[in-house]
C-alpha cells in the first residue's frame, strides 16, 4: 500500500511549492491528496485555481504518513490562523507522523507549538515568527519528524527530503537523473 501524503491548500498558497512536490511525489508512487483548507477550489497566490481532492475536515491522521504545508501569502497566514489545522497538526505530531512546511508555512508549525527547540528553515524575514525554533537559513532542514524548506526555489529538494523521509531516497535520485536535475 502506498504511503499517503496530504498537502493542505489555503487560499493564497504558493503554486510551485504545492504542485511541484505533488507531481514529483506522485511520480514516485506516493498517494498524494490535495486537501482544501476551507474549499475544494483554492486560488493560489499567483491566480491559479486548483481543485482539491477533498477538504481538510475529511483528513484522517491515522491514514496519513505526512502532512505538507506549502507557503505563499496570504496562504501561510491562512494556515496559521486555522484552528482546525492546528488540531490536525498536533494530532499528527502526537502520532509520530512527518510534517513538512516550506517558505513562510513554518509559521503554522510555530503556532501549533511543534518546532520549539528544533532546527528549522523558512523564507527570510519569518525568523521571528518561528516560536522557539532555531532558524538555520539552510535550503532544507530536517529535525526529527519536522521537515522545512526555504522557498519555491527548493521545491524539488523539498520533495526529495520528503521522499527520503518516507523511504524512497534511491527512487528519488533515479527520478532526478531522469528529469536531468542535479541531486
Instruction: Please compute the mean of the pLDDT values over residues 102-124 and round it to a whole number.
Output: 98
Instruction: Please compute the mean of the pLDDT values over residues 69-79 and round it to a whole number.
Output: 98
State yes or no: pLDDT of 44 exceeds 70: yes
**182 pLDDT tier (thresholds 50, 70, 90):** low
Helix (H) or strand (E) holding 24: helix 15-27
Average predicted confidence (pLDDT) for the chain: 96
Task: Walk me through the domains of the chain, giving residue ranges and CATH numbers.
Answer: 4-178 (3.40.50.880)
Write the pLDDT tens digit of every residue in 124-173. Answer: 999 999 989 999 999 999 999 999 999 999 999 999 999 999 999 999 98
Category of 143 on φ-ψ map: left (φ > 0), alpha (ψ -120 to 50) or beta: beta
State yes or no: pLDDT of 183 exceeds 60: no
Instruction: Please compute the mean of the pLDDT values over residues 65-72 and round it to a whole number.
Output: 98
Q: E strands of the chain, at which residues?
A: 4-9, 31-36, 41-43, 49-51, 54-55, 66-69, 98-102, 119-120, 134-135, 140-143, 146-149
Write the pLDDT tens digit of every residue in 5-22. Answer: 999 999 999 999 999 999
Amino acid at each position: 500500500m502506498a504511503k499517503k501524503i496530504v498537502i493542505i491548500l489555503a487560499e493564497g498558497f504558493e503554486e510551485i511549492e504545492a504542485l511541484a512536490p505533488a507531481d514529483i511525489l506522485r511520480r514516485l508512487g506516493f498517494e498524494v491528496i490535495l486537501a482544501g483548507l476551507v474549499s475544494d477550489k483554492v486560488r493560489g497566490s499567483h491566480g491559479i485555481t486548483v481543485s482539491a481532492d477533498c477538504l481538510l475536515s475529511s483528513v484522517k491522521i491515522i491514514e496519513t504518513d505526512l502532512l505538507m504545508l506549502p507557503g505563499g501569502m496570504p496562504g501561510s497566514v491562512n494556515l496559521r490562523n486555522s484552528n482546525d489545522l492546528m488540531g490536525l497538526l498536533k494530532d499528527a505530531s502526537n502520532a509520530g507522523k512527518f510534517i513538512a512546511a516550506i517558505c513562510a508555512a513554518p509559521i503554522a508549525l510555530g503556532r501549533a507549538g511543534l518546532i520549539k527547540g528544533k532546527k528549522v528553515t523558512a523564507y527570510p524575514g519569518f525568523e521571528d515568527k518561528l516560536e522557539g525554533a532555531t532558524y538555520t537559513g539552510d535550503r532544507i532542514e530536517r529535525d526529527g519528524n519536522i521537515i522545512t524548506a526555504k522557498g519555491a526555489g527548493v521545491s524539488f529538494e523539498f520533495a526529495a527530503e520528503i521522499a527520503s523521509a518516507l523511504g524512497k531516497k534511491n527512487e528519488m535520485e533515479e527520478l532526478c537523473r531522469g528529469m536531468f536535475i542535479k541531486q
